[in-house]
Amino acid sequence: MATTSFSPSAAVRAPSASSFGPHLDLSRRIRLPLTRPPAPAARWGARRHVAPFRLAARRLSVRCGALVQIDQSEFPAEVLGSDIPVLVEFVADWCGPCRLISSVVEWASQEYKGRLKVVKIDHDANPKLITEYKVYGLPALILFKNGQEVPESRREGAITKVKLKEYLDNFLEPTSVV
């Protein structure tokens, strides 16, 4: 009778490719395609699909259709020397809320034509005016009458058409005491 001995090193050896056949060669590595880990929002179930061509940020400029864009050299003549009230809007190209309300301010310049002059001032190009009038937030609206800033007329941030109409009507309507 033949006896076989058990060898512990034989039990630990990895099987060769020949024992499993050529289709299961363990010496080859499995290469998976490289993928990015999901974004934090995607892990929590948010579905946000962004096309790759939209990821590049574009710089949009603030349009001035019927509005006059002035700088600090024109400010004394256009604003302080005006016969009618002037609404000054301080804006910047990089400001999202400025772009958001540009159509509303343009509407106001058409709606109040003859009663109100509307001008835009670029925040980045006119630092002297920014410091002089202490413009801290954009967009900023300041109303000027007779060469002076109207008290409590300063407004910062985005504004709707209805709120802008209320704001302007409040300052432009003559108040009469009975």
Closest alpha carbon to 118 in 64, 165, 68: 68
- 58 neighbors 52 (Cβ within 8 angstroms): no
Q: Which residues are catalytic?
A: 95, 98
How far is residue 148's CA from residue 168's CA, in Å, rounded to a whole number?
Answer: 16
For residue 154, the one-letter residue type is R
Distance, in Å, from the CA atom of 144 to the CA atom of 117, rounded to the nearest integer, reads 10
Candidates 89, 97, 71; CA nearest to 160 is 97
- CA–CA distance, 82 with 145 (Å, rounded to integer): 8
